[in-house]
Amino acid sequence: MPNLTNKQILLGVTGSIASYKAADLASKLTQAGAKVDVILTSAAQKFITPLTFQSVTGCKAYTDKDLWGDEGHVLHVQLGKGADLIVIAPCTANTMAKLAHGFSDDLLTVTYLASTADVLIAPAMDGGMFDNPATQGNLSTLLSRGVMVAGPATGHLASGLSGKGRMLEPIEILGHIRIALGKHGKLKNKKVVVTAGGTQESIDPVRIITNHSSGKQGYALAQAAIDVGADVTLITTPTTLTPPVGAKVVNVKSVQDMLDALLNESADALIMTAAVADFRPKHVAKDKIKKRDGIPQIELEVAPDILKTVSSIKSEKKRYKVVVGFAAESQDLLENASDKLKSKGLDFIAANDISSKDAGFAVDTNRITLLFANGSKESLPLMSKTEAAEKIIEHVARLLE
C-alpha cells in the first residue's frame, strides 16, 4: 500500500456499472492515508449511493444538490483548489465529451473546469462507444491538454460483448494515481534502470542454478522511483510479483541475458538489486541429464561481472550516470561491501547483512548500510523494503542534482 498521507484526491464518479469499483478505489486511497472527496454525478447515483463513499472515506460525498445548496457559490472552486489530483473513475463517454468541450452543467464538470489540478480519467463504456470517432476525438483533445488516461482494458463488458471499454481494476488505477502524483517529483525527466530477482543458469533443459532472491527489494525500488517521477525500466528474472504500473519490464533469466539487456539501455541511474550468479555451468546439456547415468560432474566457469562491465563503459560513454550496487554478505559485511564499492566502480552500495532472518532474501524488511564512493556511510535501522527503497532513491536523486 502506498503512503498517500497529506495527499488530497478528488474522486469523480460517473454513471457506469463500473462505479461499484470506484468504492473500492476510494477505500484503497483512504487506507493509503489520502483525504478523498467524492463527487457523484446524478447518473452515478443510479448505480451507487453517496453513503457508500462516505462510509469508506469518512468524508462527505457530494452530489449536484450541493451545487445548488448553501455553499454552492464556492464549493466547486474549493473542491478543485484543495485537490492534488482529480481522478474521474469511471469516466463515461458523456463525461469525456463534456470535459473535452467545456460543458459545466453539474458539480463534477464545473469543478473540473474551475480547477488547475492534474486530472486522471479511467474511461468505462461499451466497446462501440469507445471506438466511436466522437469519443476518440474527445480522447485526443483531453490527451493534448495533459489529461492523463488510465485504460480502458479489453475484456468482458456489461453489454455482454467483449471489447475495449472495461474500466481498469482499482489496484491498476491506484498505480496510475501514483504516477500522476509523482510526476513533478525529484526524478522528473530522469530515467532509472532497476534489476531485480535471482538469475537462473541452466544445467540442462530442466534444471537451473539460482538463489533465494524474491525480487521484493528491486520491485520496491522501481516503485519508489516511479513515485518521484522517474521513467523506470525494470529488468527482472521470473518472480511471483506484479511489476509497478508504469514500469517498462524486460524479462531475463541468465546473467548473460541481464548483461545484454543492460547494454541495450542507457539511463541516469542503474540500481543493481538483482542477485546475480558469480558462477555458471560451463556447458549446458542439450538433453535432460538422466539419473541412470550416475551423479553428474558439473564444471562451473566464472560468469560475467555485470557491474564491472557496465561501470567500465560508464566512464567512456556515460551509459549510466549514477551506478548503485547491493552487497549480500553473511560475514565481514562492511569490509566486503567496501571492496565491491571500489572494485565495481560504484557511486554507492547498499550492504545487506543476510545473516539475520529479518533482512536480505525474500523477507519484507531489510537492514542496510549505505557506503558512498566519497567515504561517507549511513547505517539504516530495520525497515520495510519500501522504506529502504525510498532512502536509496533519495540518494540517487541527490547525486543526480
Residue numbers annotated as active site: 211
Residue showing cell 565481514: 332
Least gap, CB of 273 to ligand PMT (angstroms): 5
d(CA 250, CA 234): 6
Name the residues that contact ligand PMT, by CB under 6 A.
213-218, 255, 272-276, 278, 303, 305-307, 325-328, 340, 344, 352, 360-362, 385
Least gap, CB of 308 to ligand PMT (angstroms): 7
Burial class (CB in 10 A: 0-12, 13-18, 19+), 71: exposed
Least gap, CB of 2 to ligand PMT (angstroms): 18
Least gap, CB of 361 to ligand PMT (angstroms): 4
14, 108, 131, 374 from 87: Cα distances, Å: 11, 11, 22, 44
C-beta closer to ligand PMT: residue 186 or 344: 344
Least gap, CB of 397 to ligand PMT (angstroms): 19
Contact 126, 156 (CB under 8 A): no
Burial class (CB in 10 A: 0-12, 13-18, 19+), 334: middle
Least gap, CB of 325 to ligand PMT (angstroms): 4
C-beta closer to ligand PMT: residue 49 or 356: 356
Least gap, CB of 16 to ligand PMT (angstroms): 39
